[in-house]
Amino acid sequence: MATKTSTPQSSDSSKSTAKSSKARATKAAHASSPAVLIHGQPAYAESAGEAYMNAAQKTHFRAILEAWKRELMEEVDRTLHYMQDESANLPDPVDRASQEEEFSLELRTRDRERKLIRKIDETLKSLDEDDYGYCATCGEKIGIRRLEARPTATLCIDCKTLAEIKEKQLQG
């Protein structure tokens, strides 16, 4: 299902594209029955007695992860082109300062996106190795719905909650 369409021409709208493409995807989903799309994929409809992380589920999550990665890579690309286009030599020091501020923000965003891409790659590897979908701490199933909400999750909700509490206590 190709609901995500990239618009390479509109490099000036790099900030709004992620949002608007999401809106488009949601709109497209209303035409068919599943209302929620996860990176272009309809939510997984489990049948009764179906085995956890069977081939169909793995295919489903692979599609989500790969589509998400593509979106991020396009975003990184767009940011780069945007900065190349905009990096004019501004004579006004105020303009120059605000552009520098804007660019450093863009770079931080790009850095975050690159880290996320790496995390997605690690997650895809765990799918290949049949480790995907199980909690790294207790080994329990993370669950389809939680994975759809956080496709790179490595902890079940209980272990995640516990880890967050511990972290808070450490911070004092």
Give the residues lining the site for Zn ion (CB under 5 A): 135, 137-138, 140, 156, 159
Q: Contact, 79 vs 109, CB < 8 A?
A: yes
Residue 67: burial class (beta carbons within 10 Å; 0-12, 13-18, 19+): buried
Comparison of 72 and 156: residue with beta carbon closer to Zn ion: 156
CA dist., res. 56 & res. 99, Å (int): 47
| Rg of the Cα atoms in the chain | 20
Closest CB to Zn ion among residues 25, 135? 135
Of 13 and 137, the one with the shorter C-beta distance to Zn ion is: 137
We find the least distance from the C-beta atom of residue 156 to Zn ion, in angstroms, to be 3
Least Å from the CB of residue 137 to Zn ion: 5
Minimum distance, C-beta of residue 135 to Zn ion, in the bound complex (Å): 3
Residue 37's φ and ψ, nearest 5 degrees, are -115, 135
Complex with Zn ion: residue 1 or 138, whichever CB lies closer: 138
Minimum CB separation from Zn ion for residue 143, in Å?
11
